[in-house]
Structure 1
Amino acid sequence: MSWGSYYRGDGTAREVELAPPPPWRSFPHRPLGQKFRPPEGLPDAVNAALSLRRPLLVTGAPGSGKSTVIESVAHELALGPVLRWHITSRSTLEDALYRYDVLGRIHEQQLRTAAGHGETVDDIAPFLRLGPLGTALVPATLPRALLIDEIDKSDLDLPSDLLDVLERGEYTILELERHKAEQVAVRMWDSDQTYTVERGKVQCTEFPFIVMTSNAERDFPPAFLRRCIRFQMPEPDEETLREVVQAHLDMEVPDEGPVATLVRGFVTRLRAGDNLAIDQLLSAVFVLSGDDAPQGTRHDDLVALLLRELSRG
């Protein structure tokens, strides 16, 4: 594939031309869903979630392809661009539904007053924006695809806070419920398009297709789990990894040779309990499978560098 000794550490300035990056590091990103190979049982779990209008909770190790599931489904079913809500310990349900810049609104009114414009225009729309979950619940002819990524990193209360919205498929923008204008056009999360909110209420017509990912770092309340279709990503075997390498790098994996050795060694380490991600294997294959790839001790050192266990610093 591609290896280059661009940096030598000799302090000499030189012009270099970098080789093309791996496909998953090319920008803008190409759609990952077209390359995804679902494990056995996942299509049934997806279809159950679609049929029941329930979220799909996908659990598995980092790099096992959890977040790519929704890309694959959205691509095959033509659901449009995927909305993304990346969870941290500071994430709240309110931020996922809509954002209100109250300070910006106050500041704008003060500026108009100071400029002598007389009576201020009470236009709240520029200071509101629907969040990823709020946008997914906007009425539509097809379900929107929403990824709630790494929900196990959330505050302990967030899964429970989600329950009412996931059950009812609606929410209220309190600032608009109290506003004198009955209709306000609010920008959506992933574009500058607007949705006209009436009396502060947003209610979906098609429940969104929601995929929530978890690294199994915590337990969830039973009330939350029973509202989800759950799927555990299996540990990949050698045949699966060969298919992944072929799909992402457009290359055949022979029964023997450097790439086969990398795949086989990766599987052995997984079964021994090492915490590794599939994208590490893809990186190692990309760097070490070309004609100019380092050999001998340098090759072994690069394997150790690229396939370093994730649980170690």
Structure 2
Amino acid sequence: MSTWPVYTGAEVPHDGVSRLPDPPPWRAFDGGPALPPPPQEDDTASPDRKHRASTYRATPESIDLVNAALVLRRPLLVTGPPGSGKSSLPYAVARELKLGPVLRWNITSRSTLQDGLYQYDPMGRLYAAGKGAGRKRPEGSGGGEPTGEAVEDHLRLGPLGTALLPYERPRVLLIDEIDKSDLDLPNDLLNVLEEGQYEIPELVRAAEHAPTARVMISGGETRATVARGLVRCRAFPFIVLTSNGERDFPPAFLRRCVPLRLRRPEPEHLEAIVRAHLGELDKETRQMIETFLRRSSTGELATDQLLNAIYLSRVPGLQAASREALAAELMTHLGPVADFHDF
């Protein structure tokens, strides 16, 4: 049976991830015990997440590079202008390959590696210890510290920390806008992404008295067992790092990633995107697409600007002059541009 491609850009979810070939020897991980895949997104999931997953239209280049990242067990570094679909890609992959909800880590200039791995609340633990002074666990609970005072009760794994748990199938993690980070964060990520594991010092120190801990994971109230403070992956997660291309990254970081550069959509691809979001194209919609393509050749525009303009143009009762004026405002260039008028 063919193992390429696993991700096809298809609209129907499938179990093709089970056809992934064995990892390269230098990317094989042995964390355990193995955790079952998380449930798929259900009706309580964000409508935005479900919509972007089902309407994303991949290019042949992006399909090939997604598969390269999956086979090599390497992060995918996706660069491109705003609105080019960078952050929608991991949702589409997770949906097609049935890999469960996407874990998301939104990067700011204050983000640190620990934010992505786990959060610990020492003040909350101190407060719980004060409230629980003299109080014991219920009989038969296993002894130890009173409920609420154990280290594990004040720890939660972050998106990256959760993705590196020993799941049977890769979790999908979106690290959004990595170019906004402090200069040190890409280098800080290197060891974790290379080794597929990390330690939680607070649990390592407590391991003599509590060798295992049940720690809450990102994105819900579920808990996972961590032995002696070490988290090691089993199936390396499918990690998508997005960047608007506003800065350069260290060579050591770049060589550990599979690079994907998203470019301005070609006309046929743009029509497919619009059709996926808003249905079949009428004459006015095609004209707006042509105008968008002309304007995008002279300055930066995002695809969602076009989608907003088309959606508004279909509102009943909106006069033609108003539609044209609104389209001109909605499709304003995102950066400097010479004077150019289409409307």
User: TM-score normalized by structure 1?
Assistant: 0.85
Q: Distance in 2 between matches of 1:27 and 1:97?
A: 24
Determine which of 183, 199, 208 is the counterpart of 2:212: 183
Unaligned runs of 5+ in 1: 1-25
- Which residue matches 1:68? 88
Give the letter aligned to residue 219 of structure 1: D
Q: Distance in 2 between matches of 1:133 and 1:27?
A: 20
Q: Distance in 2 between matches of 1:130 and 1:248?
A: 35
Q: 1:86 to 1:27 in 2, by over 3 A?
A: closer
Give the letter aligned to residue 309 of structure 1: H
Query: Would you say the 8 A contact 1:236–1:267 is kept in 2?
Result: no
**Cα deviation, residue 170, structure 1:** 0.2
- Which residue matches 2:320? 295
Q: Distance in 2 between matches of 1:84 and 1:165?
A: 17
**Cα deviation, residue 237, structure 1:** 2.2
**Cα deviation, residue 310, structure 1:** 2.4
1:131-280 aligned at under 5 Å gives the runs: 131-179=158-206, 180-250=209-279, 252-254=280-282, 257-272=283-298, 274-280=299-305
2:60 alignment partner, SS class: coil
- Which residue matches 1:20? none
Query: Would you say the 8 A contact 1:169–1:203 is kept in 2?
Result: yes
Q: Distance in 2 between matches of 1:157 and 1:281?
A: 37
Query: Would you say the 8 A contact 2:107–2:177 is kept in 1?
Result: yes
Q: Distance in 1 between matches of 2:212 and 2:317?
A: 63
- Return the structure number with greater relative CO, CA threshold 8 A, min gap 6: 1
Give the letter aligned to residue 306 of structure 2: L
Q: 1:194 to 1:154 in 2, by over 3 A?
A: same
- Which residue matches 2:331? 307
Give the letter aligned to residue 147 of structure 1: L
Percent identity over paired residues: 49
**Cα deviation, residue 59, structure 1:** 0.5
Unaligned runs of 5+ in 2: 1-44, 137-143, 337-343
Q: Distance in 2 between matches of 1:71 and 1:28?
A: 12
Query: Would you say the 8 A contact 1:39–1:234 is kept in 2?
Result: no
Query: Would you say the 8 A contact 1:258–1:289 is kept in 2?
Result: no
Determine which of 34, 52, 56 is the counterpart of 2:72: 52
Q: Distance in 1 between matches of 2:123 and 2:281?
A: 57
Give the letter aligned to residue 194 of structure 2: E
Q: 1:27 to 1:224 in 2, by over 3 A?
A: closer
Query: Would you say the 8 A contact 2:312–2:323 is kept in 1?
Result: no
Give the letter aligned to residue 157 of structure 2: L
Q: 1:201 to 1:120 in 2, by over 3 A?
A: closer
**Cα deviation, residue 132, structure 1:** 0.2
Q: Distance in 1 between matches of 2:226 and 2:126?
A: 22
1:178 alignment partner, SS class: helix
Q: Distance in 1 between matches of 2:167 and 2:51?
A: 23
What per-residue deviation string (whole Å, max 9, x for no partner) do you get for residues 51-79 of structure 1? 10000011111111011111111111111
Give the letter aligned to residue 60 of structure 2: E
Q: 1:120 to 1:143 in 2, by over 3 A?
A: closer
Query: Would you say the 8 A contact 2:105–2:176 is kept in 1?
Result: yes
Give the letter aligned to residue 61 of structure 2: G
Q: Distance in 1 between matches of 2:316 and 2:115?
A: 50
**Cα deviation, residue 269, structure 1:** 1.2
1:207 alignment partner, SS class: coil
Q: Distance in 1 between matches of 2:323 and 2:158?
A: 46
User: TM-score normalized by structure 2?
Assistant: 0.78
Q: 1:207 to 1:311 in 2, by over 3 A?
A: same
Query: Would you say the 8 A contact 1:112–1:120 is kept in 2?
Result: no
**Cα deviation, residue 271, structure 1:** 1.0
CA RMSD of aligned residues (A): 1.8
